[in-house]
Amino acid sequence: MAELPAAAAAQLAAQLAELGEEFQRSLPARLRQVEAALTALGKDWEGREVWDESDEAALRELCAVAHSLAGAAGTFGHPVLGATALAIEKLARQLDADPAARVDSARLEFDRLLTTLTVATGSSPPALTAPAAALSGARK
């Protein structure tokens, strides 16, 4: 693979760092999106006879926001955040596909994952400088 000239590598590293900072600033809003989708699903699932269209929409929204968060977290070096968002997405997809799985224990699992997600959004990105480090072998 061809190496980037030093100036181009530095510019790319600066752009990646800015995108990483932008992602970091977006975390509170992204967390609120996940929380809003979970709130829309309600709490007591086992006693619920019918899931209406708004419940289905909330599950789809939860899948979408968790998927987006998982991908961005992976890109910007947040492995715990990414894995947790992926677990939320996976559970939401399972519940969307299998209504019989919509039991209180699944809701409790969402609550546990949300707690992990909340903690992970407060952590500093461990790999924000990884793209710059990867580019350090650039030509001078």
pLDDT tens for 60-110 read 999 999 999 999 999 999 999 999 999 999 999 999 888 888 888 898 999
The β-bridge partners of 5 are: 139
Quick: pLDDT tens for 29-39: 999 999 999 98
Contact 91, 113 (CB under 8 A): yes
Dihedral, CA of residue 107, residue 113, residue 114 and residue 117, to nearest 10: -170
- Could you tell me the sign of the dihedral formed by the alpha carbons of 73, 67, 38, 87, in that order? negative
What pLDDT is attached to residue 136? Answer: 40
